[in-house]
Amino acid sequence: MTDTENLKQLFPGANEIPPEHRLASPVHQRTYLVGGEFRTWGGECKTVLSPICERQADGSVRQLEIGSYPVMGEAESDAALDAAVSAYDNGRGEWPTMPVAKRIACMQDFVRQMVAQRQEIVNLIMWEIGKSLADSQKEFDRTVEYIVATIEAVRTLDNNASRFEIAEGTIGQIRRTPLGVVLCMGPYNYPLNETFATLIPALLMGNTVVFKPPQYGTLLFWPLMQAFCSAFPRGVINTIYAPGAVVVPHMLASGKIDVLALIGSSKVADHLKKQHPKSHRLRAVLGLDAKNAAIVLPDADLELTVRECLLGALSFNGQRCTALKMLIVHRSLVDEFLHRITKAVGQLKIGMPWEPGVSITPLPGLHRTAYMTEAIEDAKAKGARVVNQGGGAYCATLYYPAVVYPVKEGMKLYREEQFGPLVPVMAYEDVEEALAYVISSDHGQQVSVFGSDPVQIGALVDPLVNQVCRVNLNCQCQRGPDVFPFAGRKDSAEGTLSVNDALRAFSIRSMVAARQTPASKRLLDDIVRDHRSNFINTGFIL
């Protein structure tokens, strides 16, 4: 199944989509949520094309239309932002002052409603971004688990702060408090999970939110609108459907955004941060580009290495920020490595996302297959070749993975984050060359090291942990488990996201302090006993 005609046959013809995996009907979203109200949009709308194509009677293939959503502008983004500002009300709003136990109850209500929409949301993830059904289900379930874990973490955080501390004659109570209005934007590859990785902790810490869904992966939030509206007080979540380039710089230029939560590109993040009139006031929580390398040492277990590299490079078609995007293999085993990895690529199932066991599925648009082709042509023109048979063949959005060797400095594939089914391989003689690649990279998220010699691995880990934020030994790069810190250096991230770290990222410690005198003690006792403050209290959330 490696040439264009064969790939075309993998798309369904009319009436060949299994009925259980069809969308019940296209989703033509016209309402949006602002200040606790659903408003109806009567203006221009954008048609949503699925990565999944259908074979036509005339032999062509066409991306299927699965719905549409509003194309709003600055007036609507102003309204969404003003609603979030008003709900925050300079920290005096219902949500930022609400006791944490009540906020938790709202979030639990939201999760209950979300779980009821599982099937529809999973189906929309699959149809909007072409993620396999199994991975779409995994994304949904992992997100629910993340919310549940975050609720537990916020409970613990609050309970640990429910006491007074005394130091140097000063009584203090220290709690984490919200930052203000958060603009949340997630990526298309994990539209639900990565959006909620910032949105949920931001909400639980008492911030209000403007939420802009990603360009691909918009409709899947539609089944959650009712829950957004009913689970939280008015204006806590406000949505905007608009081209990012039009409304996002505009919202930042207003100076009303306190936190920019973006999982996207470093170029966009750099531009956006500069728009804020007082840049020191803007907090940024960013998950950005990455070009994670795998370093394969001469004594690596090749069977394990190939298995992990394949998963690392090609899970969800290589569209993971944590994907292995450059394989650096010791020259003594590069031929055997190439032989084995091309064989393993040849065994991957390519097809439609609902097919059991499928690995390679359609990319989000024709521009992505065009980019893959461009990157391969560039590498070929500069001396590399596609090693696997049929690598780089494509039909519309379906792209057959290509193992490209030898990749070297000057080729797009050497430095650019391909974010697709391309597997660049280079060989090295001295491990210093592999280290130099990581050091000279603009990215600093993770690396994988494959080998078994404790002396060599030990010596390699020490410089690598100061270049990236996670060194994976004999396994692919990945984000999880979600309680571990997910961070990056250089152009790869700002801030750390994990269940616990995200709660910190969206809050700041604030404290109440008084001299350690009988009068202060009486005052604080009275406030606590009579529940005069949500902040000064020693209550325990069970």
Site for ligand G3H, rule CB under 6 A = 189-190, 194, 320-322, 478-480
Select 33 or 293, whichever has its Cβ closest to ligand G3H: 293
Select 158 or 194, whichever has its Cβ closest to ligand G3H: 194
Select 76 or 194, whichever has its Cβ closest to ligand G3H: 194
My answer on whether omega of the bond before 213 falls inside 30° of 0, hence cis, is no
Strand-strand pairing, 394-395 and 385-386: unpaired
Contacts of 78 (CB under 8 A, 6+ apart): 250, 251, 254
Select 256 or 368, whichever has its Cβ closest to ligand G3H: 368
Residue 316, by phi and psi: left (phi above 0), alpha (psi -120 to 50) or beta? left
Select 190 or 232, whichever has its Cβ closest to ligand G3H: 190
Which is nearest to 126 in space by CA: 192, 213, 196? 192
Shortest reach from residue 539's CB to ligand G3H, in Å: 36
Tokens 């394969």 appear where? 296
CA dist list (Å): 63 to 78, 123, 351: 34, 17, 15
Strand-strand pairing, 259-263 and 181-185: parallel
Strand-strand pairing, 31-34 and 27-28: unpaired
Select 320 or 443, whichever has its Cβ closest to ligand G3H: 320
β-strand partners of 13 = 55
d(C-alpha 187, C-alpha 322), whole Å: 13
Select 173 or 476, whichever has its Cβ closest to ligand G3H: 476
Shortest reach from residue 190's CB to ligand G3H, in Å: 5
Which is nearest to 147 in space by CA: 207, 216, 196? 196
Give the type of residue at 508.
Answer: I
My answer on whether omega of the bond before 481 falls inside 30° of 0, hence cis, is yes
Select 383 or 480, whichever has its Cβ closest to ligand G3H: 480
Select 80 or 449, whichever has its Cβ closest to ligand G3H: 449
Strand-strand pairing, 402-405 and 61-70: unpaired
d(C-alpha 255, C-alpha 245), whole Å: 17
Q: What is the DSSP letter of 91?
A: G
Shortest reach from residue 92's CB to ligand G3H, in Å: 35
d(C-alpha 537, C-alpha 525), whole Å: 9
CA dist list (Å): 250 to 22, 71, 146, 187, 514: 38, 15, 32, 20, 42
